[in-house]
Chain A
Amino acid sequence: MAKLWKTTVACMLVFSLILAGCGGKDKTTTADGKRILKVWGMGGEGGSLPNMVEAFEKANPDIDVQVQQIPWDSAHDKLLTAVASKNGPDVIQMGMTWIPEFANAGALLDLSSYTDKYPNLKPENFFEGARETMKYNDKLIAIPWYMETRVLYYRTDLLKEVGYDQAPKTWAELQDAAKKLAARGNGNYGILLDNQDAAFTLPFAWENGSEVISSDNKAQFNQKPYVEAVQYLTSFYKDGSAPSQSDMQLLPAFGQGIIPMFFSGPWSINQIHETVPQIDGKWATATIPVKEEGGKSASVLGGSNWSVFSSAANKDDAVKFVSFMSDPANQIEYYKLSKDLPSTLKAWDDKALDGEQIATFREQMKTSRPSPFVPQWEAVGQLIKAALQQIVVGGADIQTQMEDLNTQADALLQK
């Protein structure tokens, strides 16, 4: 009997060891002595990353890069878990809007001391807008990799029919064109304005002089410039130029002319070619309309940066990898693979980036800015979406909603 007792205890010990093993430290070298570098890539980018990794491994035969692909939808959750367990990857691809949140939590390594050894990491190599996403509290924590920005996509043939040989250049022209296009009737609209995109109001608010969130972390939503931008944008829904709620598929609707204008990033170029090739040559891109003649066009800069986790096991190789990815020549290689636009100024000198449609993005990129660089932006963005929905779908008063939004956002920003 005593024997059975011991066996049982032994079994339980083994069982608890297995449980404990789940949280154990992973190996840092492979069986043949290569140093392991763990990289997390997001979404489609994670898919084309292995090709770049191959070149990196060829140049650094003593490093074994292990890429894990994470879908964008679950990336934020995975990152939270990695921060909590301190058992994340070495290198991580960060969506630009997430950087302040994770930097504020101290999850990202300060790379300032590496810039002498790896000049690729220096801020002056990158587009001006992208530079704003590299530093948090004077620490260099994220190196831009690829960028995207929103521009206006429009059907040249349909706009010509309503008297526009060129894209609408100003707010007034955009409104006029949308109104005339919607007047075609038969369920046709003038433009699609996606009010469920948190960044949707930003270009117009910026063009109108709003800071959205001031440099001393105060929300500016109830101020005149922002309110005016919202008034301008919601007028499209009111007069029926834009659908206030829509579950139609954008690209087929663009192809059929139901939605002749929309704002989107560079990914839509290929999507349009693939989904609705029949309208090739009948559409074009243009920079976002300015408020008044002579004004400056603004747009939202997005994309991804590379960061090194502060709990990384292999920091030196991690920085080497980040430097490799920020090398202009490698960025061009990556552009050829993925069509994601490079973040370094030098990469844009390459003729791989010539072309009419790309030129619009290049032009827009000069004046694009990232979303407000505060840790709470994700949460504030949710509030903006909710407020816009109250106005557009619920028919709430704009000024009242904006006052509410401002109070709520300020409460978040004080945290």
Chain B
Amino acid sequence: MQKAWQSLVKHRYPYLFIAPTLIILFVFSFIPILVAVFISFTNMNLAGLADWSNVEFKGVDNFVQLFSDAVFRKSMFNTLIYVVVGVPLVVIVSMAIAILINQGTSWIFKTFRVIYYMPSITNIVAIAVIWGYLYNSQYGLINHMLEAVGISPVRWLQDPTIAKFSLIIMAVWKAIGLNMIIFLAALQGIPRTYYEAAQIDGASRWQQLMRITVPLLGFATFFVSITTLIGWIQFFEEPLVMTKGDPLNGTTSMALFIYQTGFQRSDFGYAAAGSIVLFAIIILVTIVQFKARKKDSDVEY
């Protein structure tokens, strides 16, 4: 004990420097997580919130009930679809756009960089209003255009399956900007010399892209896919503002389910149990992704 204290005093400066981060992390992340774990074993609701003597310990009841809850299972399935379809789409599309935009420096490339970035900084509610009009089955722009080329109207947000994909399209569109910037920064870090050497060897543009650019973007790709994956497992804003989980819970994501049980039905214990499951899934997926990442080259940007 004495020794530990002495070592703490001796190395006080590094500890002091990380102290603000640690304190904030502790107060706003670790403690809430611990509280949520505790709540997930109780029947905490509004009455319990007002007076703690109303809270009862329920053991793992919440978790048992959760996995027999058809809506929760459906929300897990929906989230899986969102992640499996959405994440690769975001990574591929934003990388492709970054590579295209990186081809030149004239004003048109700069303009498109702004255009692609715009959705990321637009308020989600404004986006919901605009896309709500686009997707409207009666007088939406998309159906209007489809009609012009002779395709019958699509029920973008009213069919449980199509609605999922409508939300994915919108979310991908919104996510491209930020990830494109990350890829662009990485692209600009790749030295010209590799390309020059490849050109001397007679490599085509396609070969240069597949053999130099994409592999060297490894770290950026890893970063983008991990942040996107975590973000998409918590898919929430889009179904909340566009569909509220309708129709037939076809667009309810796990995060939306947690929000609805917690803040609309005030069933905090049950919602906390759901959030613990979500938390466990995210941790698990992240660990798997870190483990799966093979480092076969030490030059990456």
> Which residues on A are within 8 Å of B, measured CB to CB?
5, 8, 12, 15-16, 19, 76-77, 80, 83-84, 101-102, 104-107, 196, 245-248, 375, 378-379, 382, 386, 389-390, 393-394, 415
Q: Are B136 and A247 in contact (CB under 8 A)?
A: yes
Contact flags B225-248 to A (C-beta < 8 A → 1, else 0): 000000000000000000000111
Given contacts A83-B46, A105-B47, A106-B50, contact A247 B138 (CB under 8 A): yes
Q: Are A80 and B246 in contact (CB under 8 A)?
A: no
B49 an interface residue at 8 Å Cβ cutoff? yes
Shortest beta-carbon distance, A46 to chain B, in Å? 19
Measured CA separation A386–B75 after assembly (Å): 14
Contact flags B48-77 to A (C-beta < 8 A → 1, else 0): 011100000000000000000001000000
Which residue of chain B has its CB nearest to the CB of A9?
B16
Instruction: Report B-chain residues with C-beta under 8 Å of the C-beta of A83.
Output: 46, 49-50
> Which residues on B are within 8 Å of A, measured CB to CB?
12, 16, 19-20, 23, 27, 43, 45-47, 49-51, 71, 132, 136-139, 155, 157-158, 246-249, 260, 263-267
Measured CA separation A84–B262 after assembly (Å): 13
Given contacts A247-B158, A386-B249, contact A101 B264 (CB under 8 A): no
Q: Are B16 and A8 in contact (CB under 8 A)?
A: yes
Instruction: List 20 contacting pairs A-B, 8 Å CB cutoff, sorted by A.
Output: A15-B20, A76-B264, A77-B263, A80-B49, A80-B263, A83-B49, A84-B50, A102-B46, A104-B46, A105-B46, A105-B47, A105-B50, A105-B51, A106-B47, A106-B51, A107-B46, A196-B246, A245-B158, A245-B247, A378-B265
Which residue of chain A has its CB nearest to the CB of B16?
A8
Q: Are A390 and B50 in contact (CB under 8 A)?
A: no
Instruction: Report B-chain residues with C-beta under 8 Å of the C-beta of A84.
Output: 49-50
Shortest beta-carbon distance, A380 to chain B, in Å? 9
Shortest beta-carbon distance, B74 to chain A, in Å? 11
Measured CA separation A393–B157 after assembly (Å): 13
Q: Are A101 and B138 in contact (CB under 8 A)?
A: no
Instruction: Report B-chain residues with C-beta under 8 Å of the C-beta of A12.
Output: 19-20, 23
Closest 6 pairs between A and B when the two form their complex, measured CB to CB: A105-B50, A379-B265, A105-B46, A105-B47, A245-B158, A248-B138
Measured CA separation A83–B267 after assembly (Å): 14
Q: Are A19 and B27 in contact (CB under 8 A)?
A: yes
Given contacts A12-B19, A104-B47, A389-B247, contact A80 B266 (CB under 8 A): yes
- Contact for B50 among A8, A107, A246, A247, CB less than 8 A: A107
Instruction: Report B-chain residues with C-beta under 8 Å of the C-beta of A394.
Output: 248
Measured CA separation A248–B264 after assembly (Å): 26
Measured CA separation A245–B260 after assembly (Å): 22
- Contact for B248 among A16, A102, A104, A393, CB less than 8 A: A393
Measured CA separation A101–B264 after assembly (Å): 11
Instruction: Report B-chain residues with C-beta under 8 Å of the C-beta of A107.
Output: 46, 50
Which residue of chain A has its CB nearest to the CB of B265?
A379
Measured CA separation A77–B46 after assembly (Å): 11
Which residue of chain B has its CB nearest to the CB of A84?
B49
Which residue of chain A has its CB nearest to the CB of B49?
A84
Instruction: Report B-chain residues with C-beta under 8 Å of the C-beta of A8.
Output: 16
Measured CA separation A415–B46 after assembly (Å): 12
Instruction: Report B-chain residues with C-beta under 8 Å of the C-beta of A101.
Output: 46, 266
Measured CA separation A101–B48 after assembly (Å): 12
Measured CA separation A322–B119 after assembly (Å): 46
Measured CA separation A415–B158 after assembly (Å): 34
Measured CA separation A102–B46 after assembly (Å): 7
Q: Are B267 and A379 in contact (CB under 8 A)?
A: yes
Instruction: Report A-chain residues with C-beta under 8 Å of the C-beta of B45.
Output: 105, 415
Shortest beta-carbon distance, A173 to chain B, in Å? 28
Measured CA separation A164–B138 after assembly (Å): 29
Measured CA separation A105–B12 after assembly (Å): 48
Measured CA separation A246–B16 after assembly (Å): 59
Q: Name the residue in A80, A246, A378 with the highest tally of chain B Cβ atoms < 10 Å from its Cβ.
A: A80
Given contacts A105-B46, A106-B51, contact A382 B157 (CB under 8 A): no
- Contact for A378 among B47, B132, B155, B264, CB less than 8 A: B264
Shortest beta-carbon distance, B237 to chain A, in Å? 14
Q: Are A247 and B20 in contact (CB under 8 A)?
A: no
Shortest beta-carbon distance, A243 to chain B, in Å? 9
Instruction: Report A-chain residues with C-beta under 8 Å of the C-beta of B20.
Output: 12, 15
Q: Are B43 and A415 in contact (CB under 8 A)?
A: yes
Which residue of chain B has its CB nearest to the CB of A107?
B50
Shortest beta-carbon distance, B133 to chain A, in Å? 10
Measured CA separation A101–B266 after assembly (Å): 9
Instruction: Report A-chain residues with C-beta under 8 Å of the C-beta of B46.
Output: 80, 83, 101-102, 104-105, 107, 375
Q: Are B248 and A390 in contact (CB under 8 A)?
A: yes
Measured CA separation A104–B50 after assembly (Å): 10
Instruction: Report B-chain residues with C-beta under 8 Å of the C-beta of A379.
Output: 264-267
Q: Are A393 and B47 in contact (CB under 8 A)?
A: no
Instruction: Report B-chain residues with C-beta under 8 Å of the C-beta of A386.
Output: 71, 248-249
Measured CA separation A369–B58 after assembly (Å): 37
Q: Are B265 and A105 in contact (CB under 8 A)?
A: no
Measured CA separation A415–B51 after assembly (Å): 16
Which residue of chain A has its CB nearest to the CB of B12?
A5
Instruction: Report B-chain residues with C-beta under 8 Å of the C-beta of A5.
Output: 12
Measured CA separation A104–B23 after assembly (Å): 37
Measured CA separation A246–B247 after assembly (Å): 11
Instruction: Report A-chain residues with C-beta under 8 Å of the C-beta of B263.
Output: 76-77, 80
Instruction: Report B-chain residues with C-beta under 8 Å of the C-beta of A246.
Output: 138
Q: Are A393 and B247 in contact (CB under 8 A)?
A: yes
Q: Are A389 and B248 in contact (CB under 8 A)?
A: yes
Beyond A8-B16, A101-B46, A105-B51, list 17 extra A-B contacts (CB 8 Å). A5-B12, A12-B20, A15-B20, A76-B264, A80-B266, A83-B50, A105-B45, A105-B49, A107-B46, A107-B50, A245-B155, A247-B136, A247-B138, A247-B157, A248-B136, A379-B266, A382-B264
Instruction: Report A-chain residues with C-beta under 8 Å of the C-beta of B260.
Output: 382
Measured CA separation A185–B73 after assembly (Å): 41
